[in-house]
Structure 1
């Protein structure tokens, strides 16, 4: 007579985490040739197409880095679509008030990203790195160091504006808590 197999539930099914069954889980592999990672990041195969590639996180980032959302549109259509996207997605920008995200993960504004680009920094740079980069670049083009050089003065003003944008954003983050 076969002995019944003992359950891991001990009579309390909620003690076991959801999805912890002993059956094999079906995993979709990344659609990139030769990749054996799980393909859990959908990416469109073509604009306005319901068909999707499923990439691992690394290959999805690589695929999306060259994606041009406005490809094939003239300048007026691209501006109109960008305006509509910004209007429709403004609720997501408002959620940054609650501090659910940290720097470098999409919580920086477009102005902050342009300021970081001027300073030659990545999106996840902390404020100490911002201050250091600003000081190093400002020392090279400061009007006291290069008097009479109009191009250096313009570059210094650009660096100063970028630093001010990032400093004010940092102050807002600190103020929120």
Structure 2
């Protein structure tokens, strides 16, 4: 009968860390030729294919930058495929009011529309136009530019409030999921 051997732990319960073993860890290398980094970022080999490349983070970013989902399709086929894939798995398309879009579809609140009107902008103005209109208004009506003018000060305060409303809306838009 084989005799039990003493461990190298010298009687202490845990010299080594938990889950630490003596066997080598299996590491998948990046699929990019010549790269010896760990390949832990999967990327599809072709659209709707279960086959994957496994790249390191650097090569995955490069692959994604150059990825063309509609490669090899004509404009009509690409438009048809994009329309089909905008629908969810149950066959229903998401309503437009869930996403940021132009006016008329319920995407802007009454306060946002009023703020745009106050800044003299159209209802479909983007945030760059809002910033430009706010700067122009501030240059004309700032209390440092027109000291003692109560009307200009009130217009400046109203413009500041309008800009704050539109800036908050823009920040909400940027943090929307999806």
Task: Report TM bin, short chain.
Answer: 0.3 to 0.5
Structure number, greater radius of gyration: 2
TM-score with structure 1 setting the length: 0.44
TM-score with structure 2 setting the length: 0.44
